Amino acid sequence: MINFLKEPKLPNKITVGGHDITVTWGKDLKAHDGEAAWGLYGKSDNTIEIADDLKTKQSQVVEVLLHELLHAMIFEGNLQTYLKSKEEHVVDVLAKQMTIMFKQNPDLLKFIGDNLGKS
Ligand SMILES: [Zn+2]
């Protein structure tokens, strides 16, 4: 089957805190509990995998990538001890809200890019 939709090109590497995280597509991702997952963050090997089923679902790819990056930030900021079992819910809500916010405010990404690009 030919896929006519343009596949999102993942950023190969994203730096969070002091770590370079490698981002790749993955197949049949499973969370620790064995449940199917859209994305996985590996804190020991600094990786993020995104389920390749999402190649045709671009806004979902953004949300899943933000979700995994938030897990990485929580790890970097050593916030797991505060969040404990609430981490998944917090990350879920923030990733969804950020995705919607960036979608509804395209000028915001431009503002961030313009101003962080300047020093
Ligand atoms: Zn998660």
For residue 1, the CA-to-ligand 1 centroid distance in Å is 32
The total domain count for the chain is 1
Full domain range(s) for residue 110: 13-114
Residue 1 lies in a domain: no
For residue 2, the CA-to-ligand 1 centroid distance in Å is 32
Residue 119 lies in a domain: no
* CATH code for the domain in which residue 17 is found: 3.30.2010
Helix, strand, coil: what percent of the chain each, to 5? 50, 20, 30
pLDDT tens for each residue of 31-90 = 988 999 999 999 999 999 999 999 988 889 999 999 999 999 999 999 999 999 999 999
For residue 93, the CA-to-ligand 1 centroid distance in Å is 10
Rounded to a whole number of angstroms, the CA Rg of the chain reads 15
Q: Which residues contact 83 (CB under 8 A, 6 or more apart)?
A: 74, 90
64 CA to centre of own chain:
5
Q: What pTM was computed for the model?
A: 0.91
For residue 118, the CA-to-ligand 1 centroid distance in Å is 33
Residue 50 lies in a domain: yes
